[in-house]
Amino acid sequence: MKIQLTVAYVAFGGNTGGGQYFYSYFPDIIKVHQANEKMEFEFSKATDERFQIDTMVSTDANAQFQSPVVRANKRSLEVLNINSHAQLTLVAMLVKDTVTGLHISCDPQVLNVPNT
């Protein structure tokens, strides 16, 4: 499953980083049905090269996610979602702006809905 993340520096009016940055995901709600779904988060083409993915963290109480792997170019990350329990998992991509040195959190909604 491919998930696109778009990140932009907007100075003000954004939705993360004290309003200095805007981010969005496609799809905006990530609904996982299959067991052992490989989820690949990648920057969209509209995301400037100044941004890098550092890691992903989650509130995964049922051990549904294996350790995330950031690709060498820091433009994408893969994680295996076991998807054996129905749950809403809070996920945060930690993204670095290499120009300012700031880290921002980009948090999609991940819904595990096995066997539906």
Note the pLDDT tens digit of each residue in 11-59.
999 999 999 999 999 999 999 999 999 999 999 999 999 999 999 999 9
In CATH, what number is assigned to the domain containing residue 38? 2.60.40.420
Q: Residue 115 pLDDT more than 90?
A: no
Calculate mean pLDDT across residues 64-86. Answer: 96
SS3 category, 72: coil
Distance of CA 16 to CAs 10, 50, 84, 98, Å? 10, 16, 31, 16
Residues of the chain above pLDDT 70, percent: 99
Q: What is the mean pLDDT of the chain?
A: 95
User: For residue 116, what pLDDT is reported?
Assistant: 62
- Answer yes or no: are the C-beta atoms of 78 and 37 closer than 8 Å: no
Tell whether the model's pLDDT for residue 103 goes beyond 70. Answer: yes
Residue range of the domain that includes 67: 2-112
Task: Look at the chain and report how many structural domains it folds into.
Answer: 1
